[in-house]
Amino acid sequence: MAKGITRERIVAAALELLNDEGMDALTVRALASRLDVGAPALYWHVRNKQELLDEMSTFVMRRVTDAVSAIPPSGSWRDDVAAYARALRAEYLRHRDGARIFSGTRLADPEVVKAKESWLARLTAAGFTLAEADDVLDLVIAFVVGFVIEEQERTQSEPGRYSPDERDAWLGEGAELVKAAGHLRDEGDPRFERQLDIVLDGLATRLPT
């Protein structure tokens, strides 16, 4: 085992590599080079790239858990879930391709998983069944992950890649509503908050009247 190499140092270096070069450049070989060790040294701590992504995702979710636990319950499930969604998005946006590293991963720290307990308690106290409360959290996470993947793709792409004028020319004749909708598109916080409201409106219909 290489001296000074710990799982924590590996994850920190992996996040630095992610921020510098993006998800596609995140390989065990590139990470070993950054840490100035041979690739086999890393396998003492993470068996493969998927396990590395699990650890990176867990690191991000620890920060989300810390951020959300600092917000006292408001008495409104909707406000609390919205705060959770905003904290999740903020943490993903701290890292290049931050949402992509979370997609398809498994949390590696039982304490992070246990943090879900208080959220299930809040939601069931608000009137959701346990199954519905679990769905609320899953759906909000899925929304945030998808939103941020798209958001980061747009902000990290070359200038003009998503130009609505160029898209109009490419579409040619017709599709006037599609073209008009493209020019209405906003980005960032306004779009996130509007679409989050739509998600929360839908979830609210599951509550007994």
> What pLDDT was estimated at residue 1?
44
Own/partner contacts of 137-144, CB < 8 Å, gap of 24 or more, are 137/81, 137/84, 139/199, 139/203, 140/81, 140/84, 140/85, 140/88, 140/199, 140/203, 141/88, 143/85, 143/195, 143/196, 143/199, 144/85, 144/88, 144/89, 144/92, 144/99
66 inside domain: no
The number of distinct structural domains making up the chain is 1
Residue 13 lies in a domain: no
Q: pLDDT digits over 123-160, tens only?
A: 999 999 999 999 999 999 999 999 999 998 887 767 77
The predicted model gives 79-95 an average pLDDT of: 92
For residue range 27-73, list pLDDT tens digits in order.
888 888 888 888 777 777 777 788 888 888 888 888 888 888 887 78
Tell me what pLDDT residue 209 has: 74
Name the residue with higher pLDDT: 178 or 182: 178
pLDDT computed for residue 3 by the predictor: 57
Q: Is residue 33 part of a domain?
A: no
pLDDT at 69: 82
Its domain, for residue 126, covers 74-204
CATH code of 95's domain? 1.10.357.10
Which of the pair, 21 or 158, is modelled with greater confidence? Answer: 21
| Cβ neighbours for 144, distance < 8 A, ≥ 6 positions apart | 85, 88, 89, 92, 99
User: Which 3 state secondary structure label does DSSP give 163?
Assistant: coil
Report how far residue 65's alpha carbon sits from residue 122's, in angstroms, rounded to the nearest whole number: 15
* First-to-final CA distance of the chain: 60
Q: Indicate whether 155 belongs to any domain.
A: yes
Q: Is residue 67 part of a domain?
A: no
Does residue 169 carry a pLDDT above 50? yes
Assess if residue 6 is contained within a domain: no
In a domain, 55, yes or no: no
pTM to 2 decimal places: 0.82
* Residue 41 structure tokens: 């040294």
**Would you say 56 and 15 are in contact if contact means Cβ atoms under 8 Å apart?**
yes
Could you tell me if residue 51 is inside a domain?
no
pLDDT tens-place string over residues 44-53: 777 778 888 8
Mean pLDDT of 23-28: 84
Residue 65 and residue 119 in contact, taking contact as beta carbons nearer than 8 Å? no
pLDDT of residue 64: 84
Tell me the pLDDT of the chain averaged across its residues: 87
